[in-house]
């Protein structure tokens, strides 16, 4: 197990900026608005040959509103989970009462863990002098850094990794199944993830847009490891303002790009909407596995035909994408949650399926014998053979005398036959017609 390092402190002291600096990327959303980071955000990191997990947290504050209370609880949970704590303060705003509260909390309840006290935004000689005021917190050693330009960060990380226990032998590669939980805001994505994990890993609220970053969580089932990527809900482009909402939307798109299977959650009471179809098309265009989960099914009055009729309506709306399976789930009652994970695993296996060239050509000859292709031009279309190409998703190359003669309806016919013969449930197929 890799050591876990948590960044904590009050809002807007630069935790997410330091998070990005250490990762050498722009993974956490940074903004001058306090409280942008709400959930715990955990990503793998490496320094000096030592690997660890780095956790960004929401700003610890004492406001009484619902979101602030939940962020505070998440921060406390992060500190309890962490092996090492980096406590950040802001030299520019000076020592605040909330800094002292956090200091007392760490010194009283977490004395058994290494705590590195970091004064951030030290970018001038005067700032370095001002940092001395923070010794009032009771920490004997302080680190002066600038997360923005990187000064002082290397010295901090050198000491942090020195506190790690000896690293165990690392497994090569990551064979976990990557599942992106996607959908419009407030359909229950975080509740779905929390129900699977059995803990309040993410903030759940009935206020749309509570999740802003794409958050990764790992769990095991039947000896297999899964990564659940909980994402911000994708809104219509016209409703995305500059700033936080835009970057949250980009995080969702990137989550789709790096997943194996996308789990699209719908609200059973709202059904499939235009934005859901756009999300499905986005995942299909990126050749990701797809599974539609109709959440909050426990709230629907139903009989023996309800789910069948609901599925038929979904397929009528998505047309040629009806190869996507539909399951009915409830994050509240946990109905079909693990069936959804097992189905997603099956889809990930279908996505990796390789069909031998000999088997494919036996299939092709049978299809051509029963339903040969026609051509509007009168010129005969001859499909010679087919083979599977591509490493990460199914791509079939059909070699023929003239690719321009292949009509769209025959392409759809061949795809339908491929799906009937071989199990590609939940997986988009790519078909290329090439001149022999």
pLDDT at position 26 is 55
Could you read off the pLDDT of 275-291 as tens digits, one per residue? Answer: 889 889 888 988 899 99
Per-chain mean pLDDT for the chain: 82
Could you read off the pLDDT of 18-34 as tens digits, one per residue? Answer: 998 998 765 544 444 44
| Secondary structure of 33-81 in HEC code, one letter for each residue | CCCCCCCCEEEEEEECCEEEEEEECCCCCCCCCHHHHHHHHHHHHHHHH
pLDDT at position 384 is 93
The answer, yes or no, to whether residue 47 has pLDDT greater than 50, is: yes
Same domain for 371 and 346: no
Task: Report the candidate in 56, 63, 69, 49 with the shortest Cα–Cα distance to residue 25.
Answer: 56
- Kindly report the CATH number assigned to the domain that includes residue 367: 3.30.300.20
Q: Is the dihedral of CA 360, 366, 370, 373 positive or negative?
A: positive
Say if 172 falls within a structural domain. no
Residue % of the chain over a pLDDT of 90: 45
Same domain for 204 and 144: no
pLDDT at position 245 is 44
Same domain for 303 and 370: no
Say if 68 falls within a structural domain. yes
> What tokens does 85 get?
């704590």
pLDDT at position 246 is 40
pLDDT at position 278 is 86
- Kindly report the CATH number assigned to the domain that includes residue 102: 3.40.50.300
pLDDT at position 46 is 83
Residue 133 to residue 98: CA distance in whole angstroms: 15
Domain end residue (candidates: 333, 351, 369): 351
Same domain for 206 and 78: no
pLDDT at position 243 is 40
420 Cβ contact partners less than 8 Å away, ≥ 6 residues apart: none
Could you read off the pLDDT of 318-355 as tens digits, one per residue? Answer: 988 889 999 999 999 999 999 999 999 999 999 999 99
pLDDT at position 110 is 81
Say if 170 falls within a structural domain. no
Say if 169 falls within a structural domain. no
Phi, psi angles (nearest 5°) of residue 250: -65, -35
Query: Helices in 112-180 by DSSP H: which ranges?
Result: 125-130, 153-162
pLDDT band at 377, cuts 50/70/90?
Answer: confident
pLDDT at position 25 is 65
pLDDT band at 312, cuts 50/70/90?
Answer: very high
Phi, psi angles (nearest 5°) of residue 311: -65, -40
pLDDT at position 204 is 45
Residue 13 to residue 242: CA distance in whole angstroms: 22
Class of residue 244 by CB neighbours under 10 A (exposed 0-12, middle 13-18, buried 19+): middle
Same domain for 372 and 280: no
pLDDT at position 71 is 59
Residue 116 to residue 59: CA distance in whole angstroms: 17
Say if 51 falls within a structural domain. yes
Say if 248 falls within a structural domain. yes
Class of residue 128 by CB neighbours under 10 A (exposed 0-12, middle 13-18, buried 19+): middle
Same domain for 55 and 188: no
Domain end residue (candidates: 131, 162, 193): 162
Say if 137 falls within a structural domain. yes
39 Cβ contact partners less than 8 Å away, ≥ 6 residues apart: 58, 74, 202, 203, 211, 212, 213, 215, 230
User: Quick one: average pLDDT of 390-404?
Assistant: 87
Residue 403 contacts residue 434 (beta carbons within 8 Å):
yes
Contacts 24+ apart (CB under 8 A), 245-254: 245/209, 247/29, 247/212, 248/29, 248/209, 248/211, 248/212, 248/213, 251/29, 251/212, 251/213, 251/214, 252/182, 252/214, 253/282, 254/214
Class of residue 434 by CB neighbours under 10 A (exposed 0-12, middle 13-18, buried 19+): exposed
Residue % of the chain over a pLDDT of 70: 81
pLDDT at position 53 is 83
Could you read off the pLDDT of 166-217 as tens digits, one per residue? Answer: 654 444 456 889 999 988 888 888 889 889 888 555 444 444 444 445 567 8
Could you read off the pLDDT of 76-113 as tens digits, one per residue? Answer: 776 787 889 999 999 999 998 889 988 988 888 888 89
Task: Report the candidate in 111, 88, 100 with the shortest Cα–Cα distance to residue 37.
Answer: 88
pLDDT at position 34 is 44
pLDDT band at 251, cuts 50/70/90?
Answer: low
Beta strands in 183-325 (DSSP E): 215-221, 224-230, 261-267, 289-295
pLDDT at position 33 is 44
Torsion of CA 415, 421, 422, 428, to 10 degrees: 20
Domain end residue (candidates: 314, 336, 351): 351
Whether the predicted model's global pTM rises above the 0.85 cut: no
Say if 171 falls within a structural domain. no
Same domain for 154 and 212: no
pLDDT band at 240, cuts 50/70/90?
Answer: very low
Residue 314 to residue 322: CA distance in whole angstroms: 8
Residue 71 contacts residue 110 (beta carbons within 8 Å):
no
| Total count of domains within the chain | 3
Same domain for 58 and 76: yes
> What tokens does 12 get?
């807007």
pLDDT at position 2 is 76
Domain span at residue 430 reads 357-435
Place of tokens 């069936």: 339
> What tokens does 231 get?
């994402």
Residue 344 to residue 365: CA distance in whole angstroms: 32
Same domain for 397 and 310: no
Same domain for 338 and 205: yes
Could you read off the pLDDT of 63-76 as tens digits, one per residue? Answer: 555 555 665 676 67
Same domain for 129 and 202: no
Same domain for 156 and 74: yes
Class of residue 255 by CB neighbours under 10 A (exposed 0-12, middle 13-18, buried 19+): buried
The answer, yes or no, to whether residue 57 has pLDDT greater than 60, is: yes
């Amino acid at each position: 197990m890799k050591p876990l390092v948590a960044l904590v402190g009050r809002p807007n002291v630069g935790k997410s900026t330091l998070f990005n600096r250490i990762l050498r990327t722009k993974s956490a959303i940074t903004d001058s608005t306090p409280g942008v980071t709400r959930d715990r955000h955990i990503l793998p990191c490496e320094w000096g040959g030592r690997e660890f997990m780095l956790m960004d947290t929401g700003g610890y504050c004492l406001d009484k509103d619902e979101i602030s209370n939940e962020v505070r609880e998440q921060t406390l949970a992060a500190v309890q989970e962490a092996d090492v704590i980096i406590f950040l303060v802001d030299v520019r705003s000076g020592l605040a009462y909330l800094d002292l509260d956090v200091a007392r909390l760490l010194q009283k309840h977490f004395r058994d863990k290494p705590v590195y006290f970091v004064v951030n935004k030290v970018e001038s000689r005067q700032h370095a002098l001002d940092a001395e005021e923070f010794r009032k917190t009771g920490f004997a050693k302080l680190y002066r850094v600038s997360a923005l330009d990187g000064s002082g960060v290397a010295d901090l990380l050198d000491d942090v990794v020195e506190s790690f226990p000896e690293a165990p032998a690392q497994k090569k590669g990551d064979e976990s199944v990557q599942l992106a939980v996607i959908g419009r805001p407030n359909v229950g994505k975080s509740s779905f993830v929390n129900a699977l994990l059995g803990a309040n890993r993410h903030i759940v609220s009935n206020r749309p847009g509570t999740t802003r970053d794409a958050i990764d969580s790992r769990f095991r089932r039947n000896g297999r490891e899964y990564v659940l990527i909980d994402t911000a809900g994708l809104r219509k482009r016209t409703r995305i303002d500059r700033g936080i909402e835009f970057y949250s939307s980009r995080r969702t798109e990137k989550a789709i790009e790096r997943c194996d299977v996308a789990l699209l959650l719908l609200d059973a009471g709202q059904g499939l909407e235009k934005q859901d179809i756009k999300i499905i098309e986005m995942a299909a265009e990126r050749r990701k596995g797809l599974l539609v989960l109709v959440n909050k099914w426990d709230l629907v009055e139903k009989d023996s035909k309800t789910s069948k009729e609901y599925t038929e309506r979904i397929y009528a709306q998505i047309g040629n994408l009806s190869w996507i399976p539909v399951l009915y789930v409830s994050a509240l009652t946990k109905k079909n949650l693990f069936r959804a994970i097992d189905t997603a695993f099956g889809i990930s296996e279908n996505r990796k399926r390789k069909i031998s060239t000999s088997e494919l050509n036996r299939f092709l000859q049978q299809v051509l014998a029963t339903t040969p292709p026609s051509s509007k031009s009168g010129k005969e279309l001859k499909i010679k053979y087919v083979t599977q190409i591509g490493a990460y998703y199914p791509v079939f190359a059909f070699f023929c005398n003239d690719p321009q003669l292949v009509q769209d309806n025959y392409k759809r016919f061949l795809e339908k036959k491929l799906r009937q013969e071989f199990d590609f449930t939940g997986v988009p197929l790519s078909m290329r017609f090439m001149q022999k």
